[in-house]
Amino acid sequence: MKTQASPPASHTVAPARLAALEILCRIDNDDAYADLALEAHLEKAGLTPRDCALTTELVYGTLRWRRRLDSELQARSTRPIEGLENWLLNLLRLSDYQLRFLDRVPPWAVVNDAVQIAQRRGHKGIGNYVNALLRKLTRSSPASLPQPADPVEALAIRSSFPSWLIQRWIGRYGMNEAEALANAMNQRPPTTVRVNSLKTTREALQARLSKRKISSRPTRYAPDGLLLEDAPPLVSLDAFRDGLLTVQDEASILVSHLVDPQPGETIADVCSAPGTKATHLAQLMGNKGRIIAMDPHPSRLKLVAESCHRLGVEIAECHAGNVETLAPQFAGICDRVLVDAPCSNLGVIRRHPDVKWRRRESDLESLQPVQLSILGGAAQLVRPGGLLVYATCSLEPEENESVLTRFLANHPAFLLEPPEQFLIPFEPSGMLRLTPASHGTDGFSAARLRRRSQ
């Protein structure tokens, strides 16, 4: 890539780059979650829709490729980048991301913006350092960078993942599949929605979206999902406001199909907020029966009520509190119970790329006590002969097989019982496993347990 020797005199720093830098610094300095930090900043920034889109791309792209960017920056830097101030390192990261992965903005504009920001926040010397480093990058290619001899480290840097996670995936899947999974986790996720069959059909919704020049196609497995292309923010659509659809990944949609609720049954969703699965369960029941929606956070439980109102769900009742505390009120009355357990979220990295830099391997087992406690409380709700479905947005065994093994050892009334037929085949272990590499969905794991009749 070539840089223009001197940018136009009228050039000013792009608002999107300033916004992206502020958000990245807040994520690092305040330990804020990327999606929440981005949403909060954009709400008050007053940016154009185009600048909002570029800010989002810069934030998520820089987070996705952070380790690879750092490796490239260090290889061209005259000083250790670990010693740089947080704002300066993030400025270099997002500039390198834009140079390497985006092509709508000329390189000179990226370099010039970075230099101007560096001089404003630092001094002329910092501006000179940024200018020299970024110009080196515009004259080089990633292929010219030195590669670690260790294949695990090489893949971890190339795919921009923590070494510990890549090592785990190689151990479970082998080198090729681990790399395919990492690459799939780095892709921009599609916009997937669930069609609300209480108000419309998939075909009717497609026709309505088509009138708004929004292309869509059916999801690969779920019978009530759509993949949207070039869609505007969904909350701006009348179809969203009218409750014809809700945002939900296909893997999450399939979890409710695994529960397979029937009209007239009593179903509990014990980690219900924000209500995406609870409303889907009601939808599959044709609004006939009873949904007991629990969540320990009253403020988040309000989101369940709001979703029910928008989607026309009439059979859900909200109960604030954890399932362990609420279980005596509903003991043995539920035909089916869903536990969408809190977990590491390592299966949804493509939607939340900051997760891979937040988590440590030790976190996986540390969450087991919470998951087992919730499962134990949920088990009390299941009637004899009823079903208990356990799901996480994680692929890691410590949060899935290990939890189920310990649960079954302490609850002999339950048996692992995968369905005889399902939309996707189960693994021999009795687990349903969905990955972005194999299925094009988020990473999810789920299992179905049957309580013995006696």
- Cβ atoms within 10 Å of 312's Cβ, excluding its own: 16
Residue 137 makes CB contacts below 8 A (sequence gap 6+) with 72, 73, 76, 96, 99, 100
- Tell me what pLDDT residue 141 has: 75
Tokens matching residue 89: 């390192």
How many angstroms separate the Cα of 291 from the Cα of each of 244, 249, 274, 298, 330? Answer: 20, 21, 14, 17, 12
d(CA 148, CA 262): 55
Cβ partners under 8 Å of residue 89, min gap 6:
70, 81
Q: How far apart are CA 435 and CA 395, in angstroms?
A: 8
Of 28, 21, 31, the residue nearest 55 (C-alpha): 21
Element (H, E) at 60: helix 49-64
User: Amino acid identity, residue 25?
Assistant: C
From residue 183, how far is each of 44, 126, 165, 358 by CA, in Å?
34, 34, 13, 19
Kindly tell me the burial class for residue 9, based on how many C-beta atoms sit within 10 Å of its own C-beta (0-12, 13-18, 19 or more).
exposed
Can you give the pLDDT of all 454 residues of the chain as single tens digits? 434 444 444 457 889 999 999 999 999 988 889 999 999 999 898 899 899 999 999 999 999 999 999 999 999 999 999 999 999 999 999 999 999 999 888 999 999 999 999 999 988 999 999 999 999 999 887 666 778 899 999 999 999 999 999 999 999 999 999 999 999 999 999 999 999 999 999 999 999 999 999 999 999 999 999 999 988 889 889 999 999 999 999 999 999 999 999 999 999 999 999 999 999 999 999 999 999 999 999 989 999 999 999 999 999 999 999 999 999 999 999 999 999 999 999 999 999 999 999 999 999 999 999 999 999 999 999 999 999 999 999 999 999 999 999 999 999 999 999 999 999 999 999 999 999 999 999 999 999 999 999 7
Q: Write out the two tokens for 248.
A: 């939900």
pLDDT at site 376: 97
Residues in Cβ contact with 128 at an 8 Å cutoff, skipping those fewer than 6 apart: none
| Residue 150: other Cβ atoms inside 10 A | 11
Q: Is the pTM of this model over 0.95?
A: no
- Which domains does the chain carry? 15-144 (1.10.940.10), 151-185 (no CATH), 191-247 (3.30.70.1170), 250-451 (3.40.50.150)
CB 67 within 8 A of CB 161: yes
* Phi–psi pair at 289, nearest 5 degrees: 130, -145
Q: Which residues of 276-298 are buried (b: 16+ CB within 10 A; e: fewer)?
A: bbbbbbbbbbebebbbbbbbbee
Q: Distance between CA atoms of 361 and 20, rounded to whole angstroms? A: 29
pLDDT of residue 6: 46
Based on the residue annotation, tell me whether 393 is a catalytic residue of this protein: yes
Catalytic residue among 271, 308, 318, 393: 393
Q: DSSP E strands: which ranges in 121-219?
A: 191-195, 215-218
Contact between residue 385 and residue 221 where contact means Cβ atoms under 8 Å apart: no
What local confidence, expressed as pLDDT, does residue 45 receive? 87
- Select from 324, 408, 337, 394 the least CA-distant residue to 365: 394
Task: Give the pLDDT confidence score for residue 9 in this predicted structure.
Answer: 45
